[in-house]
């Protein structure tokens, strides 16, 4: 076949919704895209993946009937600054076969899905990005970051005689998956109402993360779960962790490591107690924290914070604003002020000039013809929305234009938050 004829065939790639009977092949394509070469999957594995996929808006790219691209999106809620749940179009399972890469297939799937999300009235879109450079071009900005620490327990200065929470009546119990499914969802709902950046979890999340959907392809190793109850008996925290169990130094000094899989706490007392608990397990000398907010309490709970070494730092939740007015009115602002934002959006979904009048009591955002104070791309607005990005820094980086002297400082005083946003989940 000539090069010209080959190019015409490539252009024939069709992007469309995936029919139910096509889902097993689509799921295999997703796995291949993430470098899992499943030639044949058991029915259980297909059922496992199917349960993670539905209900979703599932797109496939097909070349002569073969699935060469995958993409799905589903309804999610993201907690805005101040606690309001905001409806998002969560994007996941994005792959294009190495045989068909860099021919615009992702761009086609993304353009169609974002246009539908906008049409439906979703306020924003979200994703975790496999690689940093992929999604900025589509208007997504890195809205939350995460840090992982590894605690050298013997150097931490924590009291090795610790035997439980300080608060009288509070307690920590080791529980099993049934207890987690019983108490976890309600605890998490309280947590997500209180922390900006957290995304909603569905019922499947709790089944999947307590081993109820294990298959040979997706094996399960049971973790430990510790549940914290406050003085009133109410569940206020949960930590899931795994440990090694037979690591010894040359002179039989124990060398086990604990890895925290997830921690949810709705009170500072619960958070402090659960970290102290994990760092006080006999024979455990190092604790990997899992992905936490960069301003997490953990290092400063230790008498010697240097015992917590940063072992990872990365962008996490990416946000793409689809509706500027509703996104900016959904969140709260610490101060009072006005800024006019000129927002560029090459996809034509959210661009325009908007005037934000914010007070701690409420905010209004309206299209305007007033002179712009700040000129920015919708990607930058995504980075600012949860309060994490510094506008002054974006100006210094040349990404935001400051048209009125001092406007960046005004925007920072309005948008930034006293605690950084945190999204504990990857989806
Ligand atoms: C939310 C999630 O699911 S994240 C998971 C993302 N998936 C993966 O990482 C799996 C492995 N990678 C892939 O499957 C593919 O490479 C994808 C999906 C990332 C990209 O698909 P493609 O169809 O090749 O992207 P497409 O051709 O539409 O690229 C559009 C533009 O993005 C750029 N681009 C795409 N992927 C990357 C990348 N990984 N790094 C840098 N630039 C990229 C392209 O160069 C192109 O730029 P241009 O418009 O300036 O020419």
Over residues 89-133, the pLDDT tens digits come to 999 999 999 999 999 999 999 999 999 999 999 999 999 999 999
Q: Quick check: 39 and 12 in contact, CB under 8 A?
A: no
Q: Candidates 106, 117, 139, 426: which one to mutate for ligand 1, based on the most atoms within 8 Å of Cβ?
A: 106
Q: Which of 102, 114, 199, 320 to mutate to test the pocket of ligand 1 (most atoms within 8 A of CB)?
A: 102
Predicted local confidence at residue 187, as pLDDT: 98
Q: What is the pLDDT of residue 45?
A: 75
Q: Annotate 138-174 with DSSP letters as a single string.
A: GT-EE--EEEEEEEEGGGS---TT--S-SSTT-EEEE
User: Residue 267 pLDDT more than 70?
Assistant: yes
Residue 422 forms part of a structural domain: no
Whose CA is closest to atom 36 on ligand 1? 134
Mean residue pLDDT of the chain comes to 94
Q: Please say whether the beta carbons of 277 and 270 come within 8 A.
A: no
Q: What pLDDT score was predicted for residue 302?
A: 98
Tell how strand 284-288 and strand 145-152 pair up.
Answer: antiparallel
Residues in Cβ contact with 219 at an 8 Å cutoff, skipping those fewer than 6 apart: none
| Spatial contact of 264 and 236, defined as CB atoms under 8 Å apart | no
- Is the pLDDT confidence value at 273 over 60? yes
**Quick one: tokens of 59?**
């797109």
Which atom of ligand 1 is least distant from the CA of 127? 1
> What percentage of the chain's residues is helix, strand, coil (to nearest 5)?
30, 30, 40
Specify the ligand 1 atom closest to the Cα of 110. Answer: 28
Based on the fold, state whether residues 111 and 169 are members of the same structural domain.
Answer: no
> Using 50, 70 and 90 to split pLDDT, how confident is the model at 36?
confident
Question: Is 30 touching ligand 1 by the criterion CB < 6 Å?
Answer: no
Asked if residue 91 has its Cβ within 6 Å of ligand 1, the reply is yes
What is the rounded average pLDDT of the residues 195-204?
Answer: 96
Annotated binding-site positions: 94-96, 102-107
Of all residues in the chain, the percent with pLDDT exceeding 90 is: 87
Task: Name, in order, each residue with C-beta under 8 angstroms of 63's C-beta and a sequence gap of 6 or more.
Answer: 9, 10, 12, 13, 14, 100
Site of tokens 């009591």: 361
Q: How far apart are CA 30 and CA 38, in angstroms?
A: 10
Residue 110 is assigned to a structural domain of this protein: yes
Give binding residues for acetyl-CoA as ranges: 94-96, 102-107
Pocket test for ligand 1, best of 134, 137, 142 (most atoms within 8 A of CB): 134
Atom 38 (ligand 1): residue with closest C-alpha? Answer: 134
| Better pLDDT: 66 or 1 | 66
Dihedral, CA of residue 241, residue 246, residue 247 and residue 253, to nearest 10 = 110
Per DSSP, what are the bridge partners of residue 400?
A: none
Shortest-distance atom of ligand 1 to CA 33:
10
Same domain, 333 and 297: no
Statement: residue 402 has pLDDT above 90: yes
pLDDT-derived band at 24 (thresholds 50, 70, 90) equals confident
Q: How far is the CA of 37 from the centre of ligand 1 (A)?
A: 20
Assess whether the C-beta atom of 389 lies below 6 angstroms from ligand 1.
Answer: no
| Three-state secondary structure call for residue 415 | helix
Which range of 10-14, 156-160, 320-324 scores highest in mean pLDDT? It is: 320-324
Residue 216: the pLDDT is 78
Together in a domain, 283 and 193:
yes
Q: Residue 279, Cβ neighbours under 10 Å: how many?
A: 25
Task: Identify whether residues 232 and 102 lie together within a single domain.
Answer: no
Is the pLDDT reported for residue 4 higher than 80? no
Which tokens in the block code for residue 412? 């920072």
One domain for residues 158 and 93: no
Alpha helices in 12-152 (DSSP H): 23-33, 43-53, 105-120
ipTM: 0.97
* Strand pairing class (141-142; 57-63): unpaired
Q: Are residues 89 and 167 in the same domain?
A: no
| Residue where the block lists tokens 């607005």 | 381
The CATH number linked to 368 is 3.30.1050.10
d(CA 335, CA 330): 15
Question: Does the beta carbon of 110 sit less than 6 angstroms from any atom of ligand 1?
Answer: no
Specify the number of domains making up the chain: 3
CB distance 331 to 81 below 8 Å: yes
Q: Is 101 in the pocket of ligand 1 (CB under 6 A)?
A: yes
The yes-or-no answer on residue 62 being catalytic is no
- 85 and 23 in contact (C-beta within 8 Å)? no
- Is 134 among the domain residues? no
For β-strands 66-79 and 57-63, DSSP reports them as: antiparallel
> Does any domain span residue 387?
yes
Domain contains 133: no
Measured by CA distance, the residue closest to atom 44 of ligand 1 is 102
Which residue, 315, 346, 372, sits at the end of a domain? 315
420 found inside a domain: no
The answer as to whether 219 is a domain residue is yes
Name the one residue in this structure whose structure tokens are 């996809």: 347
CB of 36 shorter than 6 A to ligand 1: no
Residue 156 confidence (pLDDT): 98
Ligand 1, atom 12, lies closest to the CA of 95
* CATH code for position 310: 3.40.630.30
Strand, helix or coil for residue 132: coil
Using the 8-state DSSP alphabet, how is residue 343 labeled? E
So what's the pLDDT on residue 118?
98
In tens, the pLDDT along 215-265 reads 877 889 999 999 999 999 999 999 999 999 999 999 999 999 999 999 999
Which pTM does this prediction carry?
0.95
Question: At which residue do the structure tokens 């309804």 appear?
Answer: 75
- In terms of residue numbers, what domain contains 230? 147-315
Q: How far apart are CA 343 and CA 345, in angstroms?
A: 7
Q: Whose CA is nearest to atom 28 of ligand 1?
A: 104
What span, in angstroms and rounded, lies between the C-alpha atoms of 82 and 85? 9
Check 135, 140, 191, 228 and give the catalytic one. 135
pLDDT at 25 over 60: yes
The domain boundary, picked from 315, 350, 371, lies at 315
Which of 261, 252, 320 is CA-nearest to residue 285? 252
Q: Is the CB of 33 under 6 A from ligand 1?
A: yes
- Indicate if 284 and 171 belong to the same structural domain: yes
Structure tokens at 98: 């190495």
> Is 135 annotated in the active site?
yes
Q: Say whether 91 sits in a helix, a strand or coil.
A: strand
Nearest to 376 by CA among 361, 356, 394: 394
Cα within 13 Å of Cα(214), Cβ side: 9
Radius of gyration of the chain (CA): 24
Centroid of chain to Cα 354: 28
Label residues 167-189 b or e (16+ Cβ within 10 Å = b): eeebebeebebebbeebbeebbe
pLDDT for 1:
39
């Amino acid at each position: 076949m000539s090069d010209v004829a080959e190019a015409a065939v490539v252009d024939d790639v069709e992007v469309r919704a995936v029919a139910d009977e096509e889902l097993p092949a689509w799921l295999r394509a997703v796995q291949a895209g993430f470098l899992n070469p499943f030639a044949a999957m058991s029915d259980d594995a297909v059922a496992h993946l199917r349960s993670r996929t539905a209900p979703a808006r599932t797109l496939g790219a097909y070349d002569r009937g073969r699935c060469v691209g995958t993409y799905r999106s589903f309804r999610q809620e993201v907690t805005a600054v101040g606690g309001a749940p905001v409806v998002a179009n969560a994007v996941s399972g994005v792959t294009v076969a190495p045989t068909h890469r860099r021919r615009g297939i992702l761009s086609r799937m993304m353009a169609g899905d974002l246009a539908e999300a906008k049409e439906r009235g979703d306020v924003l879109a979200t994703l975790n990005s496999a690689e940093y450079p992929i999604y900025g071009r589509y208007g997504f900005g890195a809205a939350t970051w995460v840090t992982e620490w590894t605690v050298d327990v013997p150097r931490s200065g924590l009291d090795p005689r610790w035997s439980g929470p300080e608060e009288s009546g509070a307690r920590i119990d080791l529980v099993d998956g049934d207890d987690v499914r019983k108490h976890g969802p309600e605890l998490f709902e309280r947590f997500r109402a209180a922390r900006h950046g957290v995304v909603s979890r569905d019922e499947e999340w709790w089944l999947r993360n307590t081993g109820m959907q294990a298959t040979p392809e997706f094996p399960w190793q049971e973790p430990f779960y510790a549940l914290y109850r406050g003085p009133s008996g109410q569940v206020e925290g949960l930590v899931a962790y795994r440990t090694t169990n037979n690591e010894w130094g040359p002179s039989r000094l124990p060398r086990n490591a604990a890895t925290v899989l997830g921690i949810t706490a709705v009170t500072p007392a619960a958070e402090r107690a659960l970290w102290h608990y994990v760092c006080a397990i006999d024979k455990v000398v190092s604790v990997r924290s899992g992905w936490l907010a960069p301003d997490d309490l953990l290092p400063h709970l230790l008498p010697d914070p240097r015992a917590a070494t940063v072992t990872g730092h990365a962008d996490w939740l990416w946000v793409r604003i689809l509706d500027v007015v509703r996104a900016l009115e959904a969140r709260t602002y610490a101060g009072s002020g006005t800024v006019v934002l000129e927002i560029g959006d090459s996809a034509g979904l959210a661009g325009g000039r908007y005037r934000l009048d914010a007070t701690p009591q409420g905010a209004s955002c309206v299209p305007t013809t007033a002179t712009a104070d700040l000129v920015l791309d919708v990607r930058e607005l995504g980075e600012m929305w949860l309060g994490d990005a510094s506008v002054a820094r974006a100006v210094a980086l040349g990404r935001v234009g400051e048209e009125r002297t001092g406007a960046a400082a005004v925007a920072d005083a309005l948008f930034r938050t006293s605690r950084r946003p945190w999204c504990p989940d990857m989806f």
